[in-house]
């Protein structure tokens, strides 16, 4: 009920407050000649299984088609869900890997968080103001051999868990390109923007009610003309062991989430 209320409130906000949640607009490449920041989501082998991995890449490519050429300015902030739209099977999205309760389950539009992670990273590095961002609630403990991933992340859930950001001045243009290496996202600006550096603190582990939680802080060091350290957000994530099974290989039915991909 609470989720439905939040979703309804956000949808009403879209309809009644176009100044806060504007429709996405398109900007021509000639208006934004200066490269600002770039990020590649690499193709690599995953433990999700080939079907879910294929679905994930299909979803990433399909969502990226909605992002290409989108203009972002202070008057027209970027909103992930206003731009990409709902991830439904009827709109061509497939089942991809989705974390839920410590399991990898197939879900339509699964894997799209890679895109929101990359967009959040781009926004931080291009000195954008973060208007709305939500961190993931789970983090995977990869064991002592694998180094912990310290990266800025952002999760999305339609329509009320959104990623929104806007540049302080000028216009940014988001460009996407699918290549054999992966999905390349880049921001170009109407004026030169010095890239900021982003730091994620070493996770501090606490024990609460028998579960482990990792606490991190995301900070951004400003450009040379304003070299302050700005705290972007604090995250508190439940630590789970790395899932080695998904619905392809797990035969547990009592979880209630099991679906055959």
* Contact set with other proteins (CB under 8 A): 23-26, 28-30, 61-62, 65-66, 68-70, 89-94
Q: Which is nearer to other proteins, 23 or 100 (CB)?
A: 23
Q: Which is nearer to other proteins, 6 or 66 (CB)?
A: 66
Q: Which is nearer to other proteins, 244 or 260 (CB)?
A: 260
Residue pair 88/202 in contact by the 8 Å Cβ criterion: no
Burial class (CB in 10 A: 0-12, 13-18, 19+), 215: middle
Number of C-beta neighbours around residue 42 at 10 A: 9
Contacts of 203 (CB under 8 A, 6+ apart): 139, 148, 150, 214, 215, 216
First to last CA, the chain: 28
Q: Which is nearer to other proteins, 89 or 202 (CB)?
A: 89
Residue 79 Cβ vs other proteins, minimum distance, rounded to whole Å = 13
Residue 108 Cβ vs other proteins, minimum distance, rounded to whole Å = 11
The radius of gyration of the chain's CA atoms, rounded to the nearest angstrom, is 19
Residue 62 Cβ vs other proteins, minimum distance, rounded to whole Å = 5
Residue 256 Cβ vs other proteins, minimum distance, rounded to whole Å = 22
Residue 94 Cβ vs other proteins, minimum distance, rounded to whole Å = 8
Q: Which is nearer to other proteins, 62 or 239 (CB)?
A: 62
Q: Which is nearer to other proteins, 62 or 240 (CB)?
A: 62
Determine phi and psi for 196, rounding to 5 degrees. Answer: -90, 160
Residue 93 Cβ vs other proteins, minimum distance, rounded to whole Å = 8
């Amino acid at each position: 009920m609470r989720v439905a209320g939040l979703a309804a409130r956000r949808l009403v906000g879209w309809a009644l407050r176009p100044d806060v949640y504007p429709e996405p607009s398109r900007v021509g490449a000639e208006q934004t000649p200066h490269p600002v920041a770039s990020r590649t989501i690499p193709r690599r082998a995953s433990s999700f299984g080939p079907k879910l991995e294929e679905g994930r890449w299909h979803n990433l490519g399909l969502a990226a088609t909605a992002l290409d050429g989108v203009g972002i300015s202070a008057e027209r902030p970027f909103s992930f869900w206003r731009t990409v739209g709902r991830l439904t099977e009827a709109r061509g999205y497939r089942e991809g890997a989705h974390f839920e309760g410590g399991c990898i389950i197939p879900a339509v539009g699964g894997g799209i968080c890679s895109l929101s992670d990359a967009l959040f990273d781009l926004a931080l590095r291009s000195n954008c103001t973060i208007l709305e961002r939500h961190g993931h609630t789970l983090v995977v403990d990869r064991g002592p051999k694998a180094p912990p991933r310290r990266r800025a992340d952002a999760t999305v859930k339609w329509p009320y868990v959104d990623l929104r950001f806007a540049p302080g001045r000028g216009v940014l243009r988001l460009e996407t390109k699918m290549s054999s290496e992966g999905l390349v996202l880049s921001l170009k600006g109407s004026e030169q923007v010095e890239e900021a550096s982003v730091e994620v603190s070493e996770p501090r582990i606490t024990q609460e009610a028998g579960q482990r939680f990792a606490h991190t802080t995301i900070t951004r060091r400003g450009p040379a003309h304003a070299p302050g350290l700005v705290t972007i957000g604090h995250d508190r994530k439940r630590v789970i062991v790395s899932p080695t099974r998904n619905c392809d290989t797990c035969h547990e039915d009592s979880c209630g989430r099991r679906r055959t991909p």
